[in-house]
Amino acid sequence: MDWDMEKIYGDYVVIKAEENGVNIIGLTRGKDTKFHHTEKLDKGEVLIAQFTDNTSAIKIRGKARIICRHGEVYSGE
């Protein structure tokens, strides 16, 4: 991996569930965006996710705290 790609794909996102049953869905890159991975978190559980060659987006359903290098945001409010 060259330096520029590492800067793009090296970003991590911390997702902390604020309620039971928070769904995390990874979406693919490419011509057609598809679901490729799902996780379910219960209150207090934390998932650390990374954007990769396969993952272009992360969808979050439910009440969660999301922290990344760009700041902090809450879903499900």
Note the pLDDT tens digit of each residue in 41-60.
Answer: 999 999 998 877 777 889 99
Helix (H, G, I), strand (E, B) or coil at 41: strand
- pTM of the predicted protein model: 0.79
Give the model confidence (pLDDT) of 5-38 as tens digits. Answer: 555 556 789 999 999 999 999 888 878 778 788 9
- Spatial neighbors of 55 by CB under 8 A, at least 6 apart, are 26, 27, 28, 29, 36, 37, 49
**Token pair in block for residue 64:** 């969660």
CATH superfamily of 3-75: TRAP-like (2.60.40.50)
Q: Which residues contact 21 (CB under 8 A, 6 or more apart)?
A: 40, 41, 42, 62
Q: Centre a 10 Å sphere on the Cβ of residue 64 and count the other Cβ atoms it contains.
A: 25
